[in-house]
Structure 1
């Protein structure tokens, strides 16, 4: 009985704090539904100072906020546009919509940002190429990428090359795509590039090379902590399922 009373009091205190501090009131639902767990999440992720320089706290906060309030970034970007109709704010909205896999909305936002900007914003042009690819407009996406000026080799060059490889694969230019995948897959941090390459190889019927790539993903994932893997849980789940199928075969 004492525990139940204490839990109820804590929920009330947290709910009052949400209202008085002007925080997103979806926290009220979270607090009431999940009791102590909801209160703990609210205190850790909203009340405690946000400037803690702890990677795990920042990552956990981003993950929970993303689940509790997935539209937050979109709302923030739309609010910024209401205050100032600038190219930067429209591009930020495009980023937020792309993160939510709303590629048509992201395309519109990026095009508005490019129209308002001074021109030659190749970084945003590449982002636009990415969402056009996701919308199935691979020919347009490739044209944008190829119009962008050459970069010296580095992380941005690698990201563009990975996108170009995926576009070429979608356009049926498999030999060109494979050359680019092989060139870039070992240099990009994280496992996204390897998983895209493995998916391409499976489509091409090269199960042996796909298995080799996925086994490397598995080895690398085993050296990560839970927080690192959770950020791309769906990707690692897909890789594990594909590797299991290849091993059974």
Structure 2
């Protein structure tokens, strides 16, 4: 009878290959030496113990694993975050719970209801709270209410000047000005590029530049798209997953 336990490569059993894999992991992650002894003296049993004691818990802590877990939960129970946030708000309708519900609704694609909650919160004593204003601007932007989003972001920057140097608010402001065709769009994108924590700003700036009449702008757009595609070759897995949309858009712009 065919037995996976007897499968070998060059005479080495599968259980030994698995033990070697875990031994390499133990060395790279600086585990105690007794794990190596266990893996080599009892490769089958040692691999099982190592998997559950060391490898699996460590895997769960990686950024990619956490992202995969969130994606899995979204598939299995896509309304869980909204349901839990709504339950919390129903029990205690505080500003924090309203903001949590607004964020969950936005993530779920329900921008109209999210906007209602953010607007209600913005009329209270926390009207200048930075997280509230940023969430309100996100909802307004998602609804295509760009002039309102511009006003909200300018309120945010006036009350909290440091927000103008943060990745998400500065990029939202550039996108808002671009949608309005407003003066200062180029400068806003340049600031967003300086503040960027991922490649979204680079890609969106390149897309805006590609629509400008000057040949120099279109050349810079192509250079930015090329940078994204080139840099992607060196991204770790979690960065590639996080920036997948922008990479695809850059590749499409270059005709790849």
Q: What is the match of residue 119 of structure 2?
A: 111
1:92 is displaced (CA, Å) by 0.6
CA distance in 1, matches of 2:181, 2:247: 26
Q: What is the match of residue 180 of structure 2?
A: 171
Q: What is the match of residue 64 of structure 1?
A: 72
- 2:228–2:250 Cα contact (<8 Å) kept: yes
Do the aligned partners of residues 150 and 115 (structure 1) sit closer, same or farther apart at CA in structure 2, a change above 3 Å counting? Answer: closer
Q: What is the 5 A alignment of 1:38-187?
A: 52-115=60-123, 117-148=125-156, 149=158, 151-153=160-162, 157-173=166-182, 175-187=183-195
SS at match of 2:254: helix
Q: What is the match of residue 209 of structure 1?
A: 220
1:66 is displaced (CA, Å) by 2.3
Do the aligned partners of residues 87 and 117 (structure 1) sit closer, same or farther apart at CA in structure 2, a change above 3 Å counting? Answer: farther
What's the TM-score once normalised by structure 2's chain length? 0.67
CA distance in 1, matches of 2:142, 2:126: 26
Name which one, 1 or 2, has greater alpha-carbon Rg: 2
Q: What is the match of residue 192 of structure 1?
A: 200
* Structure 1 gaps, min length 5: 1-43
CA distance in 2, matches of 1:140, 1:115: 15
Do the aligned partners of residues 49 and 225 (structure 1) sit closer, same or farther apart at CA in structure 2, a change above 3 Å counting? Answer: closer
1:52 is displaced (CA, Å) by 4.9
Residue in structure 1 matching 2:233, options 222, 230, 235? 222
1:133 is displaced (CA, Å) by 2.1
Do the aligned partners of residues 157 and 227 (structure 1) sit closer, same or farther apart at CA in structure 2, a change above 3 Å counting? Answer: closer
Residue by residue over 1:70-102, the C-alpha shift from the partner in whole angstroms, topping out at 9 and shown as x without a partner, is 222111111111221111111011111111232
Q: What is the match of residue 241 of structure 1?
A: 252
1:154 is displaced (CA, Å) by 6.8
SS at match of 1:141: helix
SS at match of 1:186: helix
Bigger mean CA deviation after superposition, 89-98 or 216-225:
216-225
SS at match of 2:194: coil
- 2:130–2:160 Cα contact (<8 Å) kept: no
